[in-house]
Structure 1
Amino acid sequence: MFAYGVFKVIYSPFKAFKEIIQNPKYIGPILIMILFVLASMGSEYARASKLYVQQTLPNTLDPYNPDPWTENCTMWISNAEITCNNDDYLLGHKSIQFSITNNDTIWMELKNIGQINCLSTDGYKNLSFCIKWINPTADPPQNASLYLFSMGTTDYFYYDLAELINQTKNDEWNNFTIPLGLDAEQWVNSSAQTAWDNVTGLKLDMVWAQSTRSNLTILVDKVYFQSGNFEPLINSMGNMIAFSAFNAVTTFCIYWMLCGMAVFIVGKMFKIKAEFKVFLIIVGYALIAMVVMQVLFNILYLLISPLYITVDAISPTSVLQTIILFTSSMVLLLPVWSIIISSIGVHTASDLPLSKSAVIAIIGFLPYYVLLFVA
């Protein structure tokens, strides 16, 4: 029997477990774990090959700091008090909060962002940001302005945000995407020195009517310059494959140990005399369903159309919904196959009726579903 019944438990589990129980060895489950790791690495690679991420500044693919401009208060200056809000944010771990007492104006400026090219074919085409304004009177700002500086603060592009900001609501996050470059006609430049290929900073200025002068708060998050180009995620994988392998080993071992221990304990309650090693090997073989699950994920990713990910959306949504439905179904249903295989293994090792063996296997695999929903 090839590889101690690794594949035979799929198509002939009764015969396979008769041979396995006669000479129980760990090499079979270990081979299954290796297959699971390889299949997991393959599905991670296949998934990355179908994901295209919009090029942004800052880089949203940075796993450690995907939203640096709204995580660091020192990058901003304002006429208001500046703090980091750790409770109300959209991306990363914080938003930048600007608070002022008894006033009708708040302005905020982001500095030291480098020289940003918004002109060439490879330049950035849009500026996106999210704002939440909080006013006790709930009145929206009367005027709102966006400035993009070119070199110094005296040379800038100006954009009137009043019409857009008046459509927003108090104490709600609002997303803005503003077109950039020569084709964006709503921008007004302050001088001939301004250049779209040399944007060095930005400023937001919001003004309320003097009659609504009050304690004002503005939260800012997800500030990005967006390119029209998309980069395959596979180009930025770096250590993702190695992490995928480590995660697969860890996942397999946790499920193997916990479910093996659970099946052993329940089996002892049914007076089964087999030692712990036998139960652990039975569960190890049963986890071949996890290998099949990863193989199916590989096939899914190879068949679907590419997904394009921007700061605000993933498209096409039909493909995303297919992935979510398929993966959630597999994660929930394929372990049932492991339960069936374990039932046959317990039945072979103990001569208990299949019905009682099934009860042992079902209870034994409860840790899988507990961990699944806890995670």
Structure 2
Amino acid sequence: QGPNFTNEAYQYVNRVPNLQVLSAESTLTSDDGLEQLKNMDSLVALLLRRTEVTDEGLKSLKALPKLKDLDVRFTNVGDSGMESIAEIPSLRYLKLQQTLISESGVETLTKLENLERLNLNNLFIGNPALEQIQKFKKLTHLDLDDTQIDDAGLEHLKDLRTLKHLSFSRDFITETGLAHLAGLTNMEELNLRQIGTTDDGMVSLKDMKKLRMLDLSETIIGDPGVEHLTALASLEGLDLWATNVTDKSTESLGKLTNLKDLSLEATKITDEGLKNLTTLKNLEKLNLTKTAITAEGLANLQELPKLKEVVVGFTGITDEQRQAFNKNRDKEKPQVQFTETAR
């Protein structure tokens, strides 16, 4: 990686026998470099994020019979380049974030019948792209952050039952759109950061019994919405940063006993709320940044046998109070690392 890796280096890369993974991220790799990869029959993964490759260079990749994973994020590839990528039937994982691809390019990619993971973050695409994406019948991971999709577009995803990971943070989505996703019961990771849903939208998640990770940060979700989440017993990670939850939500959170990572940053949680979290025996990390908790409230966390990290930035918790917490901790429990920020 880095600017010292140029096209000239590929004459040496070509000599590496049975090379399967090549990471050229943030290098000066351009189309001339890709031309030299044509004979690398063993290559499985090619990572070209932040390089100088263009649509012309992607033509060389059609000669790679085993290529499974391709990352061209933050490059200037566009729709014509997708015509070349669509001719790589072995491809399973494709990352296209912040490229020049439009809805037309997405349609071209539907020839990749075995595609499993697709990253389309930061593209100027809308609902017509989702109409094409529904054709990927083996898709398990889909990233659509910062696009132009809205509630109506999500209807095209309702039958993609293979989806396990879905992210559309900062898109124009409300509870109306989430209702289209209610039947995606194989979902394991869902990122809803900074979308427009209200508490009512959480009802649509209740049948996602396999859900492990849920990001609701920077939404207007409050206590009623968190109460709906108690149906998600498999949750291990929950981000409620900058939401409207209060101490009342901790009554519901205390029922999610598989939680390992919980963020309550910039919420209205106080010492009183921490009393309800003592049931979270699997909790390893807790973010309390910018909350009203005190050292007295922290004492409740001594009940958590697996707790390893607590983020306490902008709370007023002193170094002495942090040291006292660990000094009073049972020897069989891990010492807790207190940090200022998790972001």
TM-score by length of 2: 0.23
**Bigger relative contact order, structure 1 or 2, given CA contacts below 8 A and separation 6+?**
1
TM-score by length of 1: 0.22
Greater helix fraction, Structure 1 or Structure 2: 1
> Considering only CA atoms, is the larger Rg found in Structure 1 or Structure 2?
1
